[in-house]
Chains A and B, each alone.
Chain A
């Protein structure tokens, strides 16, 4: 933008010197330089009516209209100026700029391409062309132009960012990463680049690098709560719970009180075994947004740890109602444990059966069912069957201690069954 405005001023001045300027065009120019665009537009309009062949007057009218964001009128004025003096590049350049600002990128592109064919060193035209291509969704062409610009200005963070965005749109993550890294090298305070680079790394689950990027961003913007939350997220993923808690708490102190922040804070507190604080934060989050199953899942876990099993069951049920496919087996497992704590064994068994249905690969469920039947079922054949099933299906992923436990208990159960049979025979 800076280049554009410099070029515009130069072109105005050039026009001013070369043209046989009258006192009126001078007055318009003065008004423009004083930012009195309304007056400038009025005067330029009068002048262009009085002198319809004065290209300078039309050009200045275009300038004033453009500054007033009246792009349609600006385009008309510039077009007239360009018709009158087709060899003047500044008129065409400003016409293209007005088209870009008016979001008529398709009309701007041929003008800019023509200008660049005449003089490929016209930086302002290349910037506009790159932008027009980007806005039209022609990311390859935009990237090509930003690359050319970067050859000329190898330390320009803005061009790197734009190139990075193009690469992102083209799904070239590696290339985008390189561009964003350059942005942070030349302008560490570029918040937009920090956010985009973080999102890219987050997508790739490269949390260590994401943390570094956020550290750079937070050095320049230490009070930015969004960056603090993002860093907290990265710390949480890296299981650095204490620093994560610090970041989330700081974001909270800065006035951010979204359901998301409370959820993250609650989860962090949960992993820090601070169940009182986790309960508080997760309840706040649930109050603000009752549609997030993760909140209810962690709320249930927290309540379970605090011995509030009834409330935990309620929370787990809410999580289930909100459909929670990724966590479903674990959710049922937690729910089953709550039911066991409440002496509701049929409830627990129902949950285990549900896990068997949705995740048959979880062999440990058979073990849990066997232990439950062993403890609370009169018919000892049932746990024996489940232990056997478990041992038949358990592969190397199942820890040995479970298998040993099952074997030992099967032996004990068999002995008990043996005596039961003996006793019955005697009774007969």
Chain B
């Protein structure tokens, strides 16, 4: 009899949990707790697999699961970055951190696309952010496949350029801002690169700026002259459009293309193609 009562209590609790689980915020809270118990990414991924199976066909609940997963993922990744996780995990995160996360980005975008509306505001923002990230990632995948979007711009000398003009030479697009010290630190490297491969490499720097500064153009033209930066420069409104077209979120961002205009570098990897690594990559590829 006692056993029967216990089973009954367990079953009712389970059904209550299952009912709660169908309402958005509760799913999130539940899985946040569950993922919180995971100490490494292997555990986190295994649990996600179970959750995905549980919520197959329930996109809203699944999105909440992804939201909870992402929060914990960053936590584990943070610990990893601080070397507070196992060496194995640290290595795994270091090498696959971005790519592993992209899978989730694409999954969220895919699930969100199936939904007409997302009632929960936090979830809506989460989905929207990941959809944007997915678009950006797809764009870079296209670039790596050699599908570069057509573009035209007028440089500071007043000459008009279009995509086709750059075919047959290596192309380096440098998205930067003069207020950023890391960007300024890259300029001497670009100068070296320009001197090393004057005929084989075309450098185009695109100055991105959110602030409308009436002196900006004058300041930059002076800088080009003083520092002897003799490559192509893109300024003003067209530079902002250029940046948006290439989904540039932070600077400096370097995009390095081969003569068939296929992207060669990994632009989302942090500190990719900077400093010595930039010069070494150029040497390896061009020579």
Instruction: Please give the residue numbers on chain A whose beta carbons come within 8 Å of chain B beta carbons, in ascending order.
Output: 249, 252-253, 272-277, 279-280, 283, 305-308, 311
Contacts and interface: CB of A to CB of B under 8 A. Distances in A.
Given A306-B227, A308-B227, A273 B179 contact: yes
B239 to A, nearest CB: 15
Given A273-B181, A274-B179, A276-B178, A283 B188 contact: no
Given A283-B222, A306-B227, A308-B226, A277 B184 contact: no
Contacts, number: 41
A392 to B, nearest CB: 38
Contact of A280 (B214, B219, B227): B219
A311 B219 CA distance: 18
Nearest to B214: A253
Contact of B215 (A280, A305, A308, A311): A280
A311 B222 CA distance: 14
B232 interface: no
Interface majority SS (helix, strand, loop, mixed), chain B: helix
Greatest chain B CB density within 10 A among A252, A275, A277, A279 is at A277
Interface in B99-124: none
Given A274-B179, A307-B187, 4 more contacts: A249-B215, A252-B215, A277-B215, A280-B219
A277 B209 CA distance: 14
13 contacts: A273-B181, A274-B179, A276-B184, A276-B222, A276-B223, A280-B215, A280-B219, A280-B222, A283-B222, A306-B223, A306-B226, A307-B188, A308-B226
A279 B178 contact: no
**Top-8 shortest CB links A-B:** A276-B223, A276-B178, A280-B219, A280-B222, A277-B219, A307-B188, A274-B179, A276-B219
Contacts of A272: 179
Contacts of B179: 272-274
Given A275-B184, A306-B184, A307-B188, A280 B178 contact: no
B165 interface: no
Contacts of A306: 184, 187, 223, 226-227
A253 B215 CA distance: 10
Contacts of B218: 280
A279 B188 contact: no
A300 to B, nearest CB: 13
Interface in B161-188: 178-179, 181, 184, 187-188
Nearest to B178: A276
B220 interface: yes
A274 B177 CA distance: 10
A280 B223 contact: yes
Contacts of A253: 214
A274 B226 CA distance: 15
